[in-house]
Amino acid sequence: MEKIIIFDTTLRDGEQAPGAALTSFQKLEVAAQLEKLGVDIIEAGFPVASPDDFAAVVSIAKLVKKCGVCALARCIDKDIERAGTAVKKAKHPRVHLFLATSKIHLKYKFKKAEDEIANIARESIRKAKKFCTDIEFSPEDATRTNKDFLFRMIEMAIKEGAQTINIPDTVGYSYPQEVYALISEIINNVPNINKTVIATHCHNDLGLATANSLSAVLAGARQVHCTINGIGERAGNASLEEIVMALRTRKDVFGNFYTGINTREIYRTSRLVSKATNFVVPPNKAIVGRNAFAHESGIHQDAILKKRITYEIMDPHDVGIASSQLILGKHSGRHAFRDRLKGLGIVLNEEQLNKAFARFKEVADKKKDIFDDDLRIIVEEEVGAAKPVWKLESFEINSGTRVKPYAQVALIKAGKNLSGASSGDGPVDACFKAIDKITGYHAKLDDFRLEAVTSGKDALGQASLKLKVSGSVVSGRGSSTDIIEAAIKAYIDAVNKLKNK
Ligand code: KIV
Ligand code: ZN
């Protein structure tokens, strides 16, 4: 088995993501968690960028004990001094030098010839060696570099003592077969290549960063640069969680490789980085997104309850997520519905289940997520209730700042449709009066309350009220995502109790 070295650059390339600046304290927190996660090297920052960046790298170098701590430097004396000094106290210090080698960068960024670039890189590696024995060299924009020049640069860097040669796909331009071919060509054309470790650093501009990194591994790269949640410049870097879990899950392809990552720390690390950077993880993000182990379709839920592996290729526990989630929504089936009720300690017979399930579907059509409290109300209302005399068929209201509220309500009694209309002091009052016209009761409202039972804009609202009719007091409750409907249902619920008295 061969180890794939996980080089985490969340605190360097990740922090370069627009808007992702971390405080020094947050950087230390993330570094401590990365160590717990089991990464091999933490690229802690770019010390020349600012005194704060320098100080953060120094602090991380002192804090971290198990993994290597690396600092980035351009091939400029001042950068190298700052980087070398910042990591000096680390148990395993490394300096990462980079210099662009592609024609585009040479022509427009540097206005220098290839030989000049090679000389600068050579001198810089020599200088960096005075600060640190472990040097990584990156020919920036390697995947768009003229191959002969790239081979020449790599050979020179190894000769000067670079123990790791990183091949950056700086602008995320490559695709997997191309990366595989490039790494293979490097191995076949650089005579001293076996004196170094080949690394890969893929950006995600075309959404191919993970695929390209895995391709590089198959071709011979043994170190992977990656970030938590895939954050980084522009569209980001290859994501650590995707690479690690792909290597682990696809043993048929990557069975020869292992990483030192404690995968159970993945989710916790992802949350921490998301919180520190203020970058929300998209719900559909592989491995760590809210929906990565969530199922809503009835067909999927039913199969998952029979055997998890029908629709899950990874066990959520393996990445530190407590369990898969069966999201109850309009696509859910009876199996998942019954299972969730069971989890809440509610066991229904077939008839009760049918009634509750029908009501659940009605609510789910209007409300995106159904929470446990929604379910409790659904069951309470549908299963606990006696057969009603009056049922709501429909209602319509006309209300606003310039019109007197007016309501039309239709009820069903013994299969017959009866309707009434009334104006009122407000839309709810107008509805209640319209109901009175149908039922013939002249009820006095004694108490009326409305509350949101669950959270969100589409929360299920519950209305509760008391009615007084000729000395009798009855209470009613109703719920809906529409508060007027909830009030009407509560009123009818109470009226039905009057009839039963
Ligand atoms: O994307 C890139 O090329 C880099 C280098 C500094 C390795 O981040
Ligand atoms: Zn990068």
pLDDT tens-digit map of 149-176: 999 999 999 999 999 999 999 999 999 9
Go through the chain and tell me how many residues it has: 501
Q: In what order do the strands lie in the sheet with 406-413?
A: 390-398, 406-413, 416-423
Q: How far apart are CA 34 and CA 40, in angstroms?
A: 9
Q: How far apart are CA 212 and CA 201, in angstroms?
A: 9
- Assess whether the C-beta atom of 136 lies below 6 angstroms from ligand 1: no
| Closest to 408 measured CA to CA, from 400, 416, 418, 489 | 418
CB of 406 within 8 A of CB of 398? yes
Q: Where are the domains positioned within the chain?
A: 2-277, 294-382, 391-496
pLDDT at 237 over 90: yes
Q: Which helix (H) or strand (E) holds 261?
A: none
Which CATH number does the domain 391-496 belong to among 3.30.390.10, 3.40.30.10, 3.40.190.10, 3.30.160.270? Answer: 3.30.160.270
pTM of the model: 0.80
pLDDT at 500 over 70: no
Identity of the residue numbered 63: L
Provide the 10 A C-beta neighbour count for residue 116: 12
For 467, residues 6+ apart whose C-beta sits below 8 A from its C-beta are 443, 444, 445, 446, 473, 474, 475, 476, 491, 494, 495, 498
431-446: per-residue pLDDT in tens? 999 999 999 988 889 8
Same fold: 2-277 with 391-496? no
- Assess whether the C-beta atom of 374 lies below 6 angstroms from ligand 1: no
Per the structure block, which two tokens stand in for 305?
């309850």
Q: How far apart are CA 307 and CA 260, in angstroms?
A: 30
- Assess whether the C-beta atom of 170 lies below 6 angstroms from ligand 1: yes
Per the structure block, which two tokens stand in for 459?
């929360």
The bound ligand whose nearest atom lies closest to the alpha carbon of 166 is 1
Kindly tell me the number of DSSP H helices and DSSP E strands found in the chain: 17, 18
β-sheet bridge partners, residue 136: 96, 164
Q: Can you tell me which atom of ligand 1 is nearest the CA of 141?
A: 3
Fold of 2-277: TIM Barrel (3.20.20)
Q: How far is the CA of 201 from the centre of ligand 1 (A)?
A: 7
Annotate 310-374 with three-state secondary structure. HCCCCCHHHHCCCCCEECCCCCCCHHHHHHHHHHCCCCCCHHHHHHHHHHHHHHHHHCCCCCHHH
Angle between helix 334-343 and helix 372-384 axes, rounded to 10 deg: 100
Chain centroid to CA 5: 25
Confidence tier at 499 by pLDDT (50, 70, 90): low
Provide the 10 A C-beta neighbour count for residue 188: 11
Confidence tier at 253 by pLDDT (50, 70, 90): very high
Residue nearest to atom 2 of ligand 1 (CA): 170
CB of 362 within 8 A of CB of 371? no
395-411: per-residue pLDDT in tens? 999 999 999 999 999 99
Quick one: pLDDT at residue 223?
A: 98
Q: Which one of 264-268, 326-330, 346-350, 382-386 scores highest in mean pLDDT? A: 264-268
